[in-house]
Amino acid sequence: MSEHYYSRDPKVKSDPKEWSAVLRGQTLRFKTDAGVFSKGEVDFGSRLLAEAFVMPESEGAILDVGCGYGPIGLSIAASFPERSIHMIDVNERALSLAAHNARQNDIANAKIYPSDAMSAVTTKGFAAILTNPPIRAGKETVFNFYEGAFMQLAVGGELWVVIQKKQGAPSTIDRLEELFGNVEVVVKKRGYYILRVEKY
Per the DSSP assignment, residues forming a β-bridge with 137 are none
CB-CB contact of 16 with 33 (8 Å) = yes
Compute the distance between CA of residue 82 and CA of residue 127 in angstroms, rounded to an integer.
Answer: 13
Backbone angles phi, psi at 111, to 5 degrees: -110, 110
The pLDDT tens digits for 33-52 are 988 877 678 999 999 999 99
Q: Residue 49: which residues within 8 A CB-CB, separation 6 or more?
A: 72, 130, 132, 160, 161, 162, 194
Residue 17 in this model has a pLDDT that exceeds 50: yes
Instruction: Reduce the DSSP state of residue 164 to 3 states and report it.
Output: strand
Domains, the chain, ordered by start: 44-198 (3.40.50.150)
CA pair distance 189, 191, nearest whole angstrom:
5
pLDDT digits (tens, 9 = 90+) for 100-137: 999 999 999 999 999 988 999 999 999 999 999 988 88
Residue range 141-195, pLDDT digits in tens = 899 999 999 999 999 999 999 999 999 899 999 999 999 999 999 999 999 999 9
Please give the Cα distance from 153 to 81 (Å, whole number): 20
User: Which CA distances in Å does 81 have to 48, 118, 186?
Assistant: 21, 24, 24
What is the reported pTM? 0.93
